Amino acid sequence: MLYPFMTLEDETEIVHSEPLTVDGKEKVKVVIEQPVTGGFHSAVCWLPDYTWEKIEGFSKEEINQYQELIENVYFRK
């Protein structure tokens, strides 16, 4: 199950999973979806190691900006 985390001004949604055990390690799945004409841009980031996958429609620069945002929020906790 994914839980709402943040909605950005451009309607990009960031959601996250509860802690999951993946390959014997605790991880959190973060999904980013941005509405665009005809669908969505999307990407998945796994915390705490910031492994990105399933990137569709986002540029490398946009992914870097999302990672910076996630890092800033994640390390404040």
Local confidence band at 73 (pLDDT 50, 70, 90 cut-offs): confident
Name residue, tokens 């509860």: 18
Select the more confidently predicted residue: 76 or 33: 33
Q: What would the pLDDT profile of 14-39 be if each residue is shown by its tens digit? A: 999 999 999 899 999 999 999 999 99
Confirm if 52 and 45 have CB atoms less than 8 A apart.
Answer: yes
| Domain boundaries, given as residue ranges, for the chain | 2-74
User: Within 13 Å and on the Cβ side, how many CA atoms surround 12?
Assistant: 18
pLDDT in tens, 5-14: 999 999 999 9
User: In this predicted model, what pLDDT tens digit does every residue of 35-60 receive, in sequence order?
Assistant: 999 999 999 999 999 999 999 999 99
